[in-house]
Amino acid sequence: MNLTDYATSKGGTAKLGCPILASTATAAKCSAATLYMIARGHKQVSARLAVRIATATGNKVTTSDLRPDLFGVAATTGFVPVADAVLVAPITKRALREKLGLGNDGHLAKVLRLPVAQVQAWPEEQGVPALPQVLQLLGGQVPAPVDTRPDDPDAGRIDLGVHAA
């Protein structure tokens, strides 16, 4: 949904003096004139403002509606999907987005602090990679890093108390 459709669906006119655009602009921390110019296509919205507008509209107007080049499918080129050997969390990408109340993969990527293309490459109905960020969001224990140092066969033989002089 675009901003004009959003304003009219709420009973507004989507014109410069529209109270719906004014209240949305206040919630998105921008001016009503800026929102009007974005709605009319006279100004391109920044990525940060797109996120604030999506939040202000309750994701009725999504970031991909405002900037499909940054948050839509067109932004997914050039990423190699996660290898099959990666551990998988016990939740699908769709279920994770719903649990967190997020509208699209761009929002999920922002929460997880990952590239949007990486999150979009995950299959919708399969478990997401068991990354520490995902496990923390699910309330699970983050696995401790594995110690890959070789064992020291002489570690137990040295008595530090004897040599401390």
At 86 the pLDDT is 44
User: Token pair for residue 22?
Assistant: 């004014």
Q: What is the pLDDT of residues 4-41, one digit of tens each?
A: 999 999 998 888 889 999 999 999 999 999 999 998 88
Q: Does 77 or 141 have the greater pLDDT score?
A: 141
Q: Does 65 or 160 have the greater pLDDT score?
A: 65
For residue 133, is pLDDT > 50? yes
Separation of alpha carbons 130 and 137, rounded Å: 11
CA atoms within 13 A on the CB side of 16: 3
- Sequence-ordered alpha helix ranges (H) in 3-159: 3-9, 19-28, 32-40, 47-56, 63-66, 68-71, 93-100, 105-112, 116-121, 132-137
Sign of CA dihedral 127, 132, 133, 138: positive
**Would you state the torsion angle of the CA atoms of residues 151, 152, 153, 154, taken in this order, to the nearest 10 degrees?**
-160
What pTM did the predictor assign?
Answer: 0.46
Amino acid identity of 163?
H
Q: What angle do CA 87, 75, 99 make, to 5 degrees?
A: 50
How far is residue 30 CA from its own chain's centroid? Answer: 22
User: Token pair for residue 157?
Assistant: 């033989």
Residue 92 phi, psi dihedral angles, 5° rounding: -85, 165
For residue 65, is pLDDT > 70? yes
